[in-house]
Amino acid sequence: MWSDCSATCGEGNKTSYELNANVAKARAEYCNLVNCPVDGMWSLWSNSWCSTTCGGGKIVYSRFCDNPFPAYHGNDCMGISNYTKDCEDYTICPVNGGWSSWSSWSLCNQPCEGGLVSRFRNCSNPTSQYGGLNCNGSSMETVNCSWKFCKKVDLNVEVFFVDKEYNDGFVRSTIDPTFELKERVIKAISKLYQNFKMVANFSVELHSIRNDVP
């Protein structure tokens, strides 16, 4: 008759005894009833590189329950499998440039017969720094103005300054008594140009008359 296996799981032996003519004989055999449970054990910790190449970042530390893996209803590893730590790289990070918002459209650069309106933006949101990239694209956009036909006129103006000496200079100065009069002429011509959208050819003559001259 065989005895029980010497192990409750895994490898063991069982024996059998036999009496023959008052002589006992024993036999032994290998036995393996079931696989023994294997509890999991942690591997060594490993870590990643810092998550950034400049400024602050994170390092991840991790390990695995594979030394050995739990098997045959063995217990899993106890504890955490990963955690993070701050890492510092004191290299200043590059800052790439970004576009600002577009400006409003400008007035047409011609009062009639074509022209362009334009708008602008700046690479200042933010400005590129520390080797960062500049903005990609154009800083200005233009489109054609609505077409309007121009009225063409010829304008001849003759201005007489009575009792005041004429000076052909246009530098604002109290020494030039005709400056105010000349400025009024220029403003009047400019107003005509703006109100009627005309392309005018101007011919202006300025004279000085003195009452004391016979």
pLDDT in tens, 53-85: 888 889 999 999 999 999 988 999 999 999 999
Residue 181 pLDDT: 61
Q: What is the distance of C-alpha 164 from the center of its chain? A: 65
Compute the C-alpha angle 36/40/44, nearest 5°: 145
| Sequence-distant (≥ 6) Cβ neighbours of residue 213 within 8 angstroms | none
Residue 180 pLDDT: 64
Looking at this protein, which amino acid is placed at residue 92? I
Exposure b/e, 89-112, CB count within 10 A at least 16 = b? eeeeeeebbeeeeeeeeeebeebb
Residue 75 pLDDT: 94
What is the helix (H) or strand (E) element at residue 31, kind and residue range?
strand 23-32
Q: Give the C-alpha separation, 202 to 61, whole Å.
A: 83
3-state DSSP assignment of residue 81: coil
Q: Give the C-alpha separation, 179 to 99, whole Å.
A: 46
Q: Give the C-alpha separation, 67 to 38, whole Å.
A: 10
CB 146 within 8 Å of CB 107: no
Tokens representing residue 96 in the block: 């790439």
Query: Where are the strands (E) in 63-189, listed by range?
Result: 82-89, 116-120, 140-144, 151-162
Looking at this protein, which amino acid is placed at residue 105? W
Q: Give the C-alpha separation, 195 to 204, whole Å.
A: 20
3-state DSSP assignment of residue 116: strand
C-alpha distances (whole Å) from 127 to each of 99, 131, 137, 157 are 9, 11, 15, 53
Residue 17 pLDDT: 74
Residue 160 pLDDT: 58
Pick out the chain residues at pLDDT < 50.
163-175, 209-214
| Phi (first) and psi of residue 186, to 5 degrees | -65, -40
In the block, which residue shows the tokens 């790439």?
A: 96
